[in-house]
Amino acid sequence: MLKYIISLFFTISSIGLYAQSKPIDTNPKDTVVYKQSYGLRVGIDLSRPILTFTNDDYDGFEIVGDYRLTQKLYIAAELGNETNTKQEELGPNNENTTTSPLYNFTTKGNYIKLGIDYNTYANWYGEHNSLFIGARYAYANFSQTVNNYSIYNSSRYWDADDFTVGSNTPEEFSGLSAHWLEAVLGAKVELFSNLYLGASVRIGLLINDKDPDTSRFNNLWIPGFNKVTDNSSFGVGYNYSISYFIPLYKKAKKEKIKEEIEE
């Protein structure tokens, strides 16, 4: 019996010596594994229904959506339609201190925008907010209807106070189109679980647009792009969205948490 006790004693002593010989890590690294949700976020632009309700000359609707590819990268898209009636006027000059209407027109059509968003915001654990930059390729097909127009006469001999009336009969030009690129800057904040409020500013660069086949009228407003001017190919837009995130699957991500001991 004594021989077994002595053997057990030496065995325990050997294990203790081996354990003491191993180096002690004074700066341990914890590894936290958690899963992030991936899926589809779909919603609407809030500004267009508000404009539709408050402006009798405007009617519009836009669907917004994005799909999460990686932790930071999203595929994004917007799809909408707009109808807008506007009046183009010639401003005051040295001879005339009031504005004079040139023509009244209505633009009606659909548009689609496709691109990516990159989230630059570093969320805390459990947060799903985003501060993103993005880019879009956009296409619109639409029609322009000239409701009435006046003839510009610089001499003003026959009409000293106004332009000569051209026509009050509406004339429609269909089959028009436009292509442009957009730079996007925006943010999305999670209000409640999976419900997001967003806002973005867009600067568009018009690449090409098909004008009406007439020398009397050019494209002055394009759905999804907004106002078009002769002196610039740039346009500015915005949206305010409410959207809901539909989780499709979860993806594990290892996050190493490093603790630095400062002496």
| Cβ contact 248:204 at 8 Å | no
User: Which of 95-109, 130-144, 248-262 is modeled with the greatest confidence?
Assistant: 130-144
Helix (H) / strand (E) element for 20: namely: helix 2-21
This prediction has a pTM of 0.77
- CA–CA separation, 219 and 176 (whole Å): 9
DSSP string for residues in 102-159: EEEEEEEEEEEEEEEEEE---PPTT---EEEEEEEEEEEEEEEEEEEEEE--SS-SS-
Distance set, CA 17 to CA 12, 75, 100 (Å): 9, 58, 99
Q: Is the pLDDT of residue 14 over 90?
A: no
Range of lowest pLDDT (5-19, 45-59, 93-107): 5-19
* Reported confidence tier of residue 257, pLDDT bands at 50, 70, 90: very low
Range of lowest pLDDT (88-97, 117-126, 161-170): 88-97
- CA–CA separation, 134 and 182 (whole Å): 8
**Bridge partners for 255 per DSSP:** 32
What are the structural domains of the chain? 37-253 (2.40.160.20)
Distance set, CA 75 to CA 8, 78, 116 (Å): 66, 11, 5
pLDDT digits (tens, 9 = 90+) for 19-38: 455 455 555 555 666 778 89
User: How many C-beta neighbours within 10 Å does residue 213 have?
Assistant: 9
pLDDT digits (tens, 9 = 90+) for 78-117: 999 999 998 877 665 545 555 666 778 999 999 999 999 9
> 4 or 216: which carries more pLDDT confidence?
216
Among 26, 140, 135, 150, which Cα is nearest to 75's?
Answer: 135
Tokens 């004008």, residue?
A: 211
Over residues 216-231, the mean pLDDT reads 87
> What are the structure tokens assigned to 251, written together?
């993806």
Among 119, 116, 81, which Cα is nearest to 196's?
Answer: 119
